[in-house]
Amino acid sequence: MFMLRNLLIIMCLSIFSFSGCSQGTEVDKQQNKGKMEFKKLTAEEENVIVHKGTERPYSGKYDSFWEKGTYVCKRCGASLYRSEDKFDAGCGWPGFDDEIPGAVKKQTDADGIRTEILCAHCGAHLGHVFKGEGLTAKNTRYCVNSVSMDFIPAQASNGIKAEIKTDTAIFAGGCFWGVEYFMMKVTGVLSTTVGYTGGHTENPTYQEVCAGNTGHYEAIEVVFDPSVTTFEKVAKLFFEIHDPTQWNHQGPDWGEQYRSAVFYRNEDQKKITEKLISQLKAKGFKVATEVKPAKTFWKAEDYHQDYYRHKGSAPYCHGFVKRF
Ligand SMILES: [Zn+2]
């Protein structure tokens, strides 16, 4: 199965790689339509955020600042870092050893050496990330310009959003790499985790699930900010980035682990899912998606997490198709 799958990936890549990329852009457009509202920047902010400048060390307002709360993008307001991950790096700029999952994009800096960090939502320049300095257990230092961020205190007294309340959705739609690739791009999605669920074994491994007798599905757990998006919006997208009419496979991936399913966590999610499936059936789609109560979600091995982002490539068999 493993070898067959690899072979199919190679075959598929040659056929689908171009469409995979263009469909990613389509999802971006769908998600960001009318939503990308940028705050007007001062000249100093624009120099850093747009022109990738650097504020003077020890000059930023969050360098020596230790209140509890969330750091958000100055330009678009997306959440970037939590105060729990901030540490005194002693270099004159705010340092964090972790990001809010999926919030920060990394790319090779124009100098060809450092790794630049940008807001994953709007592309604002934040600073650079350094690894291997041994400063904290996570061995990572996000060196961020204060000017690129705003701070939202955990105990907001002036009516702004306090700690983010989150909601979670669990989907299975074929190879979890592809589903995660698209879900990570959704505005309001805070984190995604791929794993296994719906089966009857504990702590399953990828090899066990691929062998096909655990009953598990390749699935994704999506944590989102319900003040920015909704379960219905995320579920709709789920039905449009995989083919919900395929039984027991998704594209070239055959096997029960590739079945399409929504694992609802409450009655609301169940009703919304059933409503969406009825809408699709009314349009003539023979929907194969199963609607099941959520069970234990077993996180998959680390190398499966954010697979395409780490690999710098696009999915081979998932893509955006408008169905609603
Ligand atoms: Zn931003």
The pLDDT of residue 224 is 87
pLDDT at 156 over 60: no
Strand partners of residue 221: 170, 193
278 Cα to the center of ligand 1, angstroms: 37
264 Cα to the center of ligand 1, angstroms: 31
Cα-to-chain-centroid distance, residue 3: 28
- Integer Cα distance of 177 and 154 in angstroms: 33
The pLDDT of residue 213 is 87
DSSP 224: E
150 Cα to the center of ligand 1, angstroms: 11
Which protein residues have a CB closer than 5 Å to ligand 1 (ion)?
73, 75-76, 78, 119, 121-122, 124
**Which is nearest to 128 in space by CA: 101, 96, 150?**
96
Residues belonging to the active site: 143, 175
DSSP run (H or E) holding 16: helix 2-32
The pLDDT of residue 163 is 53
**125-131 sheet: strands from edge to edge:** 86-87, 95-96, 140-144, 125-131, 115-119, 104-108
Range of lowest pLDDT (89-93, 169-173, 202-206, 318-322)? 318-322
Span 11-18, average pLDDT: 34
149 Cα to the center of ligand 1, angstroms: 9
140 Cα to the center of ligand 1, angstroms: 21
The pLDDT of residue 312 is 73
Band (164; pLDDT cuts 50, 70, 90): low
Span 28-33, average pLDDT: 43
pTM of the model: 0.56
